[in-house]
């Protein structure tokens, strides 16, 4: 069997230490009175009072993983996040969860599938970390997703509603469904309920076997009400950019392998499909001149947005780590090493902790799309998932390994 960087003791020690540094930085997140601060590059709170649903949920999920991995939640982030989801984001009048709030109340009451599936992820991870409020949140978000967002005929998540659940667009998207798969797999691990796993598998089949396979292994991001690709769509440049997004192909590849493992490794094309997604994403997105991965492509695979963010690199690392566990080849090991070498040189902030979120043309950190370091979730998973021996049962593996110590 080919020896890979995944097995190298020095690399594994680096992963654990990078995770600890990030957690130490984000320990400064809790805000007096509830919710969380955004952080500047040095980990100091930013003055903005706005709290978005995906930020709250990702912090809960990340610190739940870290707690299972042996790093106590010294800052009380899981407790504060679970309380703020229930008492800050939850819409007591209409049900569901508000996208953005401040200490004075709702700012944007739109109900997005993207945010709601992260509530499911947070609740599931909190349950695996044995949080006392996890079942309450898990039961509520499962009901909300099933009642409002789940398109039973298509077997996919619809995207958006007004605060009182009126449909105001026909937009359908891959991003919310991709993170829906992530959340459904976590919910299955947390509860053992097979319906979560079944739904995740159906979503993966639609976007990978049904879309990527017919589009040269690039996944269309945007769809109309009948789930037909809308190649002309151009929405929010961060959450709904035009074209295709290679970083999402890496995420989908990893999630496909996680589902395949949880489903008992059924015969079929899961490994081949994951391999095709990763190879296409690396071929399309790697910047030969500067390193790193470009953000978006046009329909034919040319670069549309050449910005280089941290999260596609973290997701490529996660996908390659998963593939290396199935087929430890020199090809995948070479790419895994290459990505970590680039990240270690340009994106990992060894001084303050966490990762720089964007690089400029001189490979120095810039802040055009993001202010400071608003997110621990992507980079923490890039550290933790390669440390686990399996493709699924991530929480169980972390709890058994305790790679972050006490």
Distance CA 394, CA 383 (A): 13
Distance CA 360, CA 358 (A): 7
pLDDT tens-digit readout, 245-295: 999 999 999 999 999 999 999 999 999 999 999 999 999 999 999 999 999
SS3 at position 229: strand
User: pTM for this structure?
Assistant: 0.98
pLDDT tens-digit readout, 173-203: 999 999 999 999 999 999 999 999 999 999 9
Q: Which one from 54, 179, 248, 357 is the annotated catalytic residue? A: 248
Distance CA 96, CA 118 (A): 12
Largest CA distance in the chain: 58
SS3 at position 292: coil
Judged against a pLDDT cut of 80, whether residue 238 lies above it is answered with: no
Contact 185, 244 (CB under 8 A): no
Domain spans, the chain: 5-401
Q: Which residues pair with residue 156 across a beta bridge?
A: 151
State what percent of residues in the chain have pLDDT above 70.
Answer: 100
Q: Given this model, what pLDDT does residue 1 score? A: 59
Contacts of 391 (CB under 8 A, 6+ apart): 257, 258, 260, 261, 322, 325, 326
Distance CA 207, CA 204 (A): 5
Q: Which has more pLDDT, 187 or 240? A: 187
Contact 249, 278 (CB under 8 A): yes
Mean pLDDT of the chain: 96
Q: Is 116 a catalytic residue?
A: no
CATH of the structural domain 5-401, one choice from 1.50.10.10, 3.40.50.2300, 3.40.50.300, 1.10.760.10 = 1.50.10.10
Q: Is 378 a catalytic residue?
A: yes
Q: Given this model, what pLDDT does residue 406 score? A: 60
Residue 54: φ, ψ to 5°: -65, -30
Distance CA 178, CA 311 (A): 15
């Amino acid at each position: 069997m080919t020896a890979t960087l995944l097995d190298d003791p020095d690399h594994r020690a680096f992963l654990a230490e990078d995770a600890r540094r990030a957690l130490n930085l984000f320990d400064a997140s809790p805000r007096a009175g509830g919710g969380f601060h955004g952080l500047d590059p040095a980990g100091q709170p930013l003055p903005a009072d706005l709290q978005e649903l995906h930020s709250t949920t990702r912090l809960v999920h990340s610190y739940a993983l870290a707690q299972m991995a042996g790093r106590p939640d010294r800052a009380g982030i899981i407790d504060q996040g679970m309380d703020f989801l229930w008492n800050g984001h939850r819409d007591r009048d209409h049900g569901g969860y508000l996208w953005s709030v401040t200490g004075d109340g709702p700012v944007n009451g739109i109900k997005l599938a993207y945010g709601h599936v992260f509530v499911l992820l947070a609740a599931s991870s909190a349950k695996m970390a044995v949080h006392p409020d996890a079942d309450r949140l898990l039961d509520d978000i499962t009901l909300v997703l099933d009642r409002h967002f789940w398109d039973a005929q298509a077997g996919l998540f619809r995207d958006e509603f007004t605060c009182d659940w009126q449909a105001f667009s026909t937009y359908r998207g891959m991003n919310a469904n991709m993170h829906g798969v992530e959340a459904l797999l976590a919910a299955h691990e947390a509860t053992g309920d097979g319906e979560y796993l079944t739904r995740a598998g159906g979503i993966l089949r639609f976007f990978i076997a049904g879309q990527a396979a017919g589009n040269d292994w690039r996944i269309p991001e945007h769809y109309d009400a009948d789930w037909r690709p809308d190649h002309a769509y151009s929405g929010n440049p961060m959450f709904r950019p035009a074209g295709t997004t290679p970083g999402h192909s890496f995420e989908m590849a990893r999630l496909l392998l996680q589902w395949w493992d949880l489903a008992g490794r059924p015969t079929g094309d899961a490994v081949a499909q994951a391999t095709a997604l990763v190879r296409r994403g690396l071929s399309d997105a790697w910047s030969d001149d500067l390193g790193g991965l470009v953000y978006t492509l046009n329909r034919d695979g040319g670069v549309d947005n050449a910005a280089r963010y941290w999260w596609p690199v973290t997701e490529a690392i996660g996908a390659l780590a998963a593939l290396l566990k199935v087929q430890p080849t020199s090809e995948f090991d070479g790419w895994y090493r290459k990505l970590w070498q680039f990240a270690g040189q340009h994106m990992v902030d060894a001084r303050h902790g966490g990762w720089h979120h964007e690089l400029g043309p001189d490979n120095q950190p810039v802040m055009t799309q993001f202010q400071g370091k608003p997110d621990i979730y992507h980079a923490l998973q890039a550290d933790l998932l390669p440390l686990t021996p399996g493709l699924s049962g991530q929480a169980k593996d972390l709890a058994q390994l305790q790679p972050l110590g006490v």
